[in-house]
Amino acid sequence: MQKKHTPLLILGSGPAGYTAAIYTARSLITPVLISGMQPGGQLTQTTDIENFPGFPEKISGTELMDRMRQQAENLGTIIIDQSAVNVDLSQRPFTITLDNEEIYTCDALIVATGASAKWLDLPNEDNLRGFGVSACATCDGFFYRNKKVAVIGGGNTAAEEALYLANLASEVFLIHRRNELRCEKVMQEKIKAHPKIKMIWNSVVQNYIGDKNNGGLTGLILKNTLTEEESQLSVDGCFVAVGYTPNTELFRGQLELTPEGFIITDKTSLKTSVEGVFAAGDVQELFYRQAVTAAAGGCRAALEAEKFLSEIKK
Ligand code: NAP
């Protein structure tokens, strides 16, 4: 298949990718953005967003991402709803192969591929995924109307999932391995005040009970982290919210990564270990991982990519 060339290619369609597109499109570069498997990224799986500046009445994750996409398109970004399946960064122009076998080359690349939900990696987790075990309350919560569900984790995601599910389920058990939540204080207060949410502290899931061919999940085996005591909890659904892992498989061996797989960048310029490749958003963010910080990173990577493109033209 014939290769198509673009000066700048952006991988990813979360706030970092779209912001990078908005900035570079305004500098008349006409970026090509490959949206990936989940256009809009992780925010399309959250509910209401209260902390993205400019939306005093809050905004849904999907709407925020739709607006960013529209803005990027209005300014001239070419958006392709495909995933990259191969990337060759060994020489410039870089080569990116998509899952429809189209091949792009580019002089500069912004990696904004984000992160994906982590699982507990328990023996029957794969068997029960989609049959009672989920990592997305907004996608699957509907199936648990007036049923009992558990949420695993203590961060902002777990808190949001628990609050969302509490509107649907009869009872929500929030199971955390310590005795203090990691999520923001305002979320902690909402959790504490909600009559349907019950905290189970100092506990981890040892295993899931149930079989996908026989009604799916029926309960959890829990272990108290202080006493090591085991117990069973009957639930119809379990939502895993124990953090995220960066989507960097394509770059292994090509870009410098941390042991956890995050892309290592210069903290000011977001340059990676390969000249002409920049990374922004959750794929390189170890601490903040917010929509607004990802968007800010997309802006920085865009400005640096523009500078790089004008320097190699000279
Ligand atoms: P997170 O902040 O990394 O929290 C993960 C939680 O899961 C922690 O409470 C952790 O326990 C627990 N955990 C990790 N591995 C576990 C395991 N194997 N078994 C049991 N529990 C485990 O992840 P997140 O909540 O997904 O949030 C990710 C980032 O996105 C954060 O920076 C967060 O602030 C941001 N975020 C923001 C918003 C918002 O602002 N509205 C919404 C969602 C996410 P410990 O606490 O003991 O480590």
pTM: 0.83
Q: Dihedral through CA 185, CA 191, CA 194, CA 196, nearest 10?
A: 180
- Percentage of the chain lying above the pLDDT 90 cut: 90
Assigned fold of 119-240: FAD/NAD(P)-binding domain (3.50.50)
Tens digit of pLDDT for each residue in 280-313?
Answer: 999 999 888 889 999 999 999 999 999 999 999 8
**Residue 256: Cβ-neighbour burial (10 angstroms; 0-12, 13-18, 19+):** exposed
Given the candidates 3.40.190.10, 3.50.50.60, 3.30.1360.70, 3.30.465.10, the CATH classification of the domain at 4-116+244-313 is 3.50.50.60
Q: Tell me if residue 29 falls in helix, strand or coil.
A: coil
Q: What pLDDT sits at residue 154?
A: 98
Instruction: Pick the residue whose CA is nearest to atom 33 on ligand 1.
Output: 156
Query: What spacing in Å lies between the alpha carbon of 290 and ligand 1's midpoint?
Result: 12
From 81, 136, 236, 282, the catalytic residue: 136
Q: What pLDDT sits at residue 21?
A: 98
- Decide if 4-116+244-313 and 119-240 have a common fold: yes
| Pocket test residue of 43, 157, 178, 179 for ligand 1, highest count of atoms within 8 A of CB | 157
Instruction: Pick the residue whose CA is nearest to atom 30 on ligand 1.
Output: 289
Rounded Cα distance, 217 and 227, in Å: 26
Mean pLDDT for 21-50 is 91
Q: Provide the residue ranges of all domains of the chain, joining segments of one domain with +.
A: 4-116+244-313, 119-240
pLDDT range class, residue 166, cuts 50, 70, 90? very high
Query: What spacing in Å lies between the alpha carbon of 314 and ligand 1's midpoint?
Result: 46
Q: What pLDDT sits at residue 5?
A: 97
| Pocket test residue of 182, 207, 292 for ligand 1, highest count of atoms within 8 A of CB | 182
